[in-house]
Structure 1
Amino acid sequence: MGGRELNWDGCVNVRDLGGLGRIRPRAVVRMEAPTRLTAAGWAAAWAYGVRTVVDLRDAGEGEPDLVARPDGITTVRVPLDPVGTPFYEHWMGIDGLGSPLCYPAMLLEHPERIVSAVRAIANAAPGCVVFHCAGGKDRTGLLALVLLTLAGAAPEEIVADYLLTYPRMKQRYDELGSRDQLTLVTELLAARGTTIEASLTSTIASLPMPGFLLGNGLSGAELDALRARLTA
């Protein structure tokens, strides 16, 4: 992990993307929903430099925060799932939007959602930006894939980072009585003739950067701001 794993009390799936590709430390952090962060956990996030939290969940999704967020941390909600669309109904029936199988279709059919999340990071106030969904796996994983591809991370780095979430979130899924997620997703993709690794690698290879972002509404100035944030 090279120091990327962060210990913020109350959450188990927090890691800095710095060190992957050209991303610098303390630029962007991925995690599960920070609702279980304790006061000490939020203090650690503040001390790490976090000033913006980008929430990829739908409005009303999830539980309230355990404790109040520190003054000075701005939360920006950018729902990533296109709820109510044919895409959403189709993929909920296939994988519950819980695997990388749907990534190529999401990038093709709803790029504006992804670009909106990227824009929120590019336009955030100075400081570290945290982005998250519920478990920090797939909506978070797709946004991480886009940022890491832009920053020139190797496909194997992106795949390895995605896979880290499964063991870190296992305790949370066990608490819910859910089946082991890695086994579930592995079997789901195997039934369609692929693997997690192959699916992610194929998506990365087909994602032109920065053309994808610029072609779907990100301005040149926003791209410059994003690159400065990630790599300065």
Structure 2
Amino acid sequence: MSGFGPHCDIRRNDAHEVSASASLDGVMWLELEGAVNIRDVGGIPTGDGGSTTAGRLLRADNLQNLSPSDVSYLVDTVKLTTVVDLRTLGEITSEGPAPLTRVASVEHVHHSLVPERAWDTPDALLARRREEQAQHQGDRTCGAYLGYVEQRPESIVGALRAIASAKGPALVHCAAGKDRTGVVVAFALTVAGALREHIVADYAASGERIEAIIKRLSASRTYAEDVARIPIDGHRPLPETMAQFLDQIDLRYDGVHCWLDRNGFTASEVATLRGRLRGQA
């Protein structure tokens, strides 16, 4: 995997280490007790020779199990101000209030990328998978991502607006932090001018944590049955999936920027989001 930027190592000096650390490949992981796939997307190279700015956008898996120490770190050290939740209302209701929802200084916005229906019944799952396959014959996961942009464009646009308007660092998450979150972050990084190969690499980085992600989801009554349907490697995000998805966005919509324009995300909003992610606003 290509490097994202300079080595970074930001740590709290206490018994419970909560850190934002970059491995040799430059991924800026945050090591928390209650989330296993959380990272800062700063330091990703852009086409103009720059990079995205750290401390502006984080991506994560489910935040239901954050410990008090995790919450303190995100609120007091990271200075998190906005959480963008991409899960369905069914997921949110089943999981119950997350610890960060009790923090008055953190705004929570909800933008489901999946149509609000009984998605967790066997019949609904089968119907959805058929729809996904129809979207893109070569890769069902890519088909699911294309389904997001076709079925819930207003949610993708809403999520990007929330990131752009955040008063401080924003965090976008779903359940695993790789699929729905991956699509929104890929669009955001494209607006920021990130090189496509590095957008793909950021997406694939969740594969480094897939065993821990699936272990955590398997312990939840909300997700256990669904994740058990597929072998663990079937959950692993593949770089070719995101590459194919972005290629399909180019073929079908003339690229991310044209898709955004067609769905009401204005040139001014593009500039604001780009400025936020590049440290210019």
Give CA-to-partner distance per residue, 1:36-83, whole Å, 9 cap, x none: 111100111111121100101111414235645433111111111123
Structure 1 residue 168, shift from structure 2 partner: 1.4
1:91 to 123, 128, 131: 128
Q: TM-score, normalised by structure 2?
A: 0.68
- Equivalent residue for 1:37? 66
Determine what percentage of the aligned residue pairs are the same residue. 30
2:54 to 25, 45, 50: 25
Q: Which has the higher contact order (CA 8 A, sep 6+)?
A: 1
Moved more, 160-169 or 43-52: 160-169
1:143 to 176, 184, 206: 184
- Equivalent residue for 1:64? 96
Give CA-to-partner distance per residue, 1:168-222, whole Å, 9 cap, x none: 14134235273543x2257xxxxxxxx9333321322334242221221112332
Alignment partners' CA distance in 1, 2:52 and 2:117: 35
- Equivalent residue for 1:191? none
Q: Residue 55 in 1 paired to residue 85 in 2?
A: yes
SS in structure 2 at match of 1:29: strand
Structure 2: runs of 5+ lacking an equivalent: 1-21, 119-123, 134-139, 219-223
Q: Is the 8 A contact 1:8 1:42 kept in 2?
A: no
Structure 1 residue 150, shift from structure 2 partner: 1.8
Classify 1:66/1:230 alpha carbon distance in 2 versus 1 (closer, same or farther; 3 Å). Answer: closer
- Equivalent residue for 1:80? 113
- Equivalent residue for 2:4? none
Alignment partners' CA distance in 2, 1:101 and 1:61: 22
Classify 1:110/1:172 alpha carbon distance in 2 versus 1 (closer, same or farther; 3 Å). Answer: closer
2:268 to 214, 221, 231: 221
Q: Map 1:74-223; keep pairs closer than 5 Å.
A: 74-84=107-117, 90-93=127-130, 99-124=141-166, 126-174=167-215, 176=218, 178=228, 179-181=230-232, 183-185=233-235, 196-205=238-247, 206-207=249-250, 208-223=255-270
- Equivalent residue for 1:15? 39
Q: Is the 8 A contact 1:8 1:45 kept in 2?
A: no
- Equivalent residue for 2:7? none
Structure 1 residue 109, shift from structure 2 partner: 4.6
Q: Residue 5 in 1 paired to residue 29 in 2?
A: yes
SS in structure 2 at match of 1:131: strand
Equivalent residue pairs, number: 221
Moved more, 203-212 or 49-58: 203-212
Alignment partners' CA distance in 1, 2:142 and 2:27: 26
Structure 1 residue 24, shift from structure 2 partner: 0.7
Q: Is the 8 A contact 2:145 2:180 kept in 1?
A: no
Q: TM-score, normalised by structure 1?
A: 0.81
Q: Is the 8 A contact 1:37 1:65 kept in 2?
A: no
SS in structure 2 at match of 1:5: strand
Classify 1:66/1:209 alpha carbon distance in 2 versus 1 (closer, same or farther; 3 Å). Answer: closer
Structure 1: runs of 5+ lacking an equivalent: 187-194
Alignment partners' CA distance in 1, 2:126 and 2:265: 27
The structure with the larger Rg is 2
